[in-house]
Amino acid sequence: MTASRNSYWLSSGFYSFATKVVAVLTGFVNFYILIRLLSRVDYGAWVLFISVCTVMELVKHGFIRNPLIRYLSMSDRNDWGALQTASLVLNFGIGIIQALVLVGFAYLLSDFWSLPQLHSLFLIYVITTFALIPANHFEIIQQAGVQFKEIFYCSLMKNLPLFAFIIFTLSSQWRITVEYLAWVQCLSTVFSGILSWFMSRKLLVISPTIDQRWLSELFHYGKFTFGTNVSSMIVKNIDSWMLGRMISAESVATFNPAIRVSNLVEVPADTLSFIYFPHLSKKISSAENDQVHTVKYFYEKAVATVMAVMIPIVVTTILFADEIVHVIAGRGFEETVPILKVTMLFGLLIPFNRFLGITLDAIGKAALNFKMVLAMAAMNALSNILFIQRMGTIGAAYGTLTTYLIMVSCNQIFLHRRFGVSLFAIGRLTLKMYKEFFSQFGFRVQSPLEN
């Protein structure tokens, strides 16, 4: 039983990690090339476009993905047809709303950032929005059905075409435009959706009728996770948005390399959270499990595992920040170096908030999670305005760091009082992981926490 469980976690962890690595690395290489091929204005426009697209996708994920995964994980297979049909109805509904919003606000956003090319990019993304409706549904049922290998292959199909197109334009010296990039992104979504359907068709169960009970359950749960994801993406993108508005698109291009590198550090947290949510949902739904003990155990172990990986990466990146920026962005980005040193610290704070949010969603406290993240978004907007006004481009990094520090402090007080979560226990588990790692090579490490 133990061997089978270990095999499950190793397989799930490997393919989840590979999925995140593919997405991050292809995005990173794309950035590496585009920042050299495009002007700073065009690259700044592409960054802002991608950030808005990411928000749109994660808004839908919050409203559709989290509720469906939770209820599919907790429900009998006989209910899957009614659940999937109800979810698809909501999926189409929010897709139509997003398309109307894009059409209505395409010009306004273009004018807001003084970037006329954004108008055509957002109109192209309207088509992508409709392609994402089935693609997202197939990916969700794959995750609920723990088909992480299939998700990995679909992720390849979604990320590689744009990557291949950028490599082609580089090798052929073909003049690239941001509109071409948006069209290739759209086609990649279509291809990914087709492959995802093929690989998930055994899990696809559609009921001929719409179950009003499940429609109501998914909607009322999803409205909070929807709000959570909106607020979360505001937290992650408000620095770039504020820079684009308060300074210029060029400042966004200067700031983005630091964010790209710091995003690499989030891969371990993204990987573990990918399998943490459905697994914790199943554990919580089991009546014989004590919720407080279950949450304390899984939260402390998840955060400690990610921190054990992140600490050496963060320290190394800060020490070699000059060399890293020079390699990935080239000359003319010296201002990015101190920004990178600050944004890398995000990686030591994000896991604490990330796993709190997942835990609250898993135990049915989506409304509380929404309120916490909404407060964080408001705080980050204010913090960025104040710091950017006083410090310029690097102020965006300090503003977001300040927000993370305040929210982690507040969240840990809540976790300690509600579930008995201990920072001391997380630190002890992290040191234990290092100790076990070094012991594999014959080193005896005495932990300072040992008596």
In this predicted structure, the answer to whether residue 232 has a pLDDT above a threshold of 80 is no
User: pTM value?
Assistant: 0.64
Average pLDDT, the chain: 80
Q: Is the dihedral of CA 199, 201, 205, 209 positive or negative?
A: positive
- Of 211-225, 281-295, 320-334, where does mean pLDDT reach its minimum? 281-295
**Cβ–Cβ < 8 Å for 69, 277:** yes
Confidence (pLDDT) at 83:
87
Confidence (pLDDT) at 236:
75
Say what percent of the chain tops pLDDT 70: 86
Confidence (pLDDT) at 356:
84
Confidence (pLDDT) at 449:
39
- pLDDT, tens digit (0-9, with 9 covering 90-100), for 379-391: 988 998 999 888 8
Q: What are the domain boundaries of the chain?
A: 1-210, 236-451
- pLDDT, tens digit (0-9, with 9 covering 90-100), for 154-199: 888 888 888 888 888 888 878 888 899 999 999 999 998 899 888 8
In this predicted structure, the answer to whether residue 277 has a pLDDT above a threshold of 90 is no
In this predicted structure, the answer to whether residue 377 has a pLDDT above a threshold of 60 is yes
**Cβ–Cβ < 8 Å for 244, 252:** yes
Residue burial 399-437, b: 16+ Cβ < 10 Å; e: rest: bbbbbbeebbeebbeebeeebebeeebbbbbbbbbebee
Amino acid at 252: V
- pLDDT, tens digit (0-9, with 9 covering 90-100), for 190-200: 998 899 888 88
DSSP result, 22-59: HHHHHHHHHHHHHHHHS-HHHHHHHHHHHHHHHHHHHH
